[in-house]
A and B are shown apart, each in its own frame.
Chain A
Amino acid sequence: MTYFSYFKAECLVLFRRKQNLVNALLFFALVIVLFPLGVDPSKAFLAPAAGGIIWCAAALATVISLESMFKEDYADGSLEQLLVSGLSISWLVLLKVLVHWLGMIIPLLLLTPIFSEMLFLPDGVLGVLMTTLLLGTPGLFLIGSIGASLTVSLRQGALLMLLLILPFYFPIIIFSTSAIQAVASGLPYSGLLAIIGAISLLALVMSPLMTPICLKASVR
């Protein structure tokens, strides 16, 4: 096993199990569609809320797509084989997160312009929304991988994982929506983008440290 063969295998798994990803994206779309239907379809309500709605939907879709991240590897023994492969498990985790993130962010960035049109996102805000997604979702995925590894051996771990990691999602969501509101009202927002990037970088350091520990504690 090499890092590259693992990366290729992960891509292939993602492709074969594309239904998981499709479900998460469908969930993303449904949450967004339900807001105008359930609350208020007027432009006055939707325009200021659009960024926040898209961000919350993206965060929930991320949790859904990550919940089963290590489940199959755990069940078929390949997680055990990764741990004894002699390769650095931190790098393997980062590769896995990278594959899952790419699989999610590409369709998400393609769908966002369509949905922001639907939610009357103000002109000129779309660019910042896409930037916050690009900067913030790596953090969501890296933090999510810690939660997924903690709950991998539990049969009903989804809700527990949600409770564990959602508090850590709050700063990313808050700063992203503030950046979107700032740009909509003509205020400077680059500092907020820097904070989002910093949180993702912190997650990039923490996740490869924490996830292997949780995985080792789960495989016994």
Chain B
Amino acid sequence: MQSNISLTISDLWIERGDRDLCKGFSLTATSGDIIHILGDNGAGKSSLFKTLFGLVSPVEGEVQLNGEDVLSYRDPLLKQSLYISHALGLKSVFTVLENIRWYFPKVSEADIARVLSLLKIEGYLDVPIKALSAGQTRRVALARLWLSDLPVWFLDEPFSALDMVSIQLLEGRIREHAEQGGIVFFTSHQPVTLLSPRRVELTA
């Protein structure tokens, strides 16, 4: 993994339905940073992530990845980042294994088995996603964090619906990723226990 990445957001202004979500929002993240985005419900945390990925257009502002503008040409950012949003992106007609295979066609069976047993869903390999509980479904989505080698993570409420053990496992994985030179952005309404992230408050 590349270990000197920097993501710079400068003067970002996001507006949705005539409401300013953030104005003049600036942030710089470099390899090893863990950033906890805070804000009330509806403050615009999810919208911020969506703006970075081009799903929402900002009014003005700049986003640079390693000094390269990624708001007009997003490919460099997309190719470096992993985004898990509120909607998890799992197909309900697929089994757990099929969903993971769809995202990671090249990862070996053994690696998938190792990650799934770490996440305690090894017994559900051939169970359709729609037959899992909310927390189990989220764990399947989060399995991508162990299987992917993308350096920049954007996790929207990754801890919701998870039990205590899984939360600690996930926090451990986030810390490990940062130690390996990655960058993690996450939103969460619960305080984290194992991590000591940089806290960024989103206010209009």
Contacts and interface: CB of A to CB of B under 8 A. Distances in A.
Interface of A: 1-2, 4-6, 8-9, 12-13, 16-17, 72, 75-78, 80-81, 83-86, 216, 219-220
A5 B102 contact: yes
Interface string B82-108: 010111111111100010011111100
Given A1-B102, A1-B103, A84 B92 contact: no
Given A12-B94, A78-B89, A84-B78, A219 B55 contact: yes
A77 B89 contact: yes
Given A9-B91, A12-B93, 18 more contacts: A1-B103, A1-B105, A5-B105, A6-B102, A13-B93, A72-B92, A76-B90, A78-B90, A80-B87, A81-B89, A83-B53, A83-B55, A84-B78, A86-B75, A86-B78, A86-B79, A216-B55, A220-B55
B149 to A, nearest CB: 13
Nearest to B82: A84
**For chain A, what secondary structure do more than half of its interface residues adopt (helix, strand, loop), or is it mixed?**
helix
28 contacts: A1-B103, A1-B105, A2-B105, A2-B106, A5-B101, A5-B102, A5-B103, A5-B105, A9-B91, A12-B93, A13-B91, A13-B93, A17-B93, A72-B92, A72-B93, A76-B90, A76-B91, A76-B92, A77-B85, A77-B87, A78-B89, A81-B83, A86-B75, A86-B78, A216-B55, A219-B55, A220-B55, A220-B56
A103 to B, nearest CB: 15
Nearest to B93: A16
B160 to A, nearest CB: 14
Contacts of B23: none
Contacts of A83: 53-55
Nearest to B78: A86
Contacts of A86: 75, 78-79
Nearest to B101: A5
Interface in B156-200: none
Contacts of B86: 77
A216 B56 CA distance: 9
B204 to A, nearest CB: 19
A2 B104 CA distance: 8
A111 to B, nearest CB: 26
A72 B101 CA distance: 19
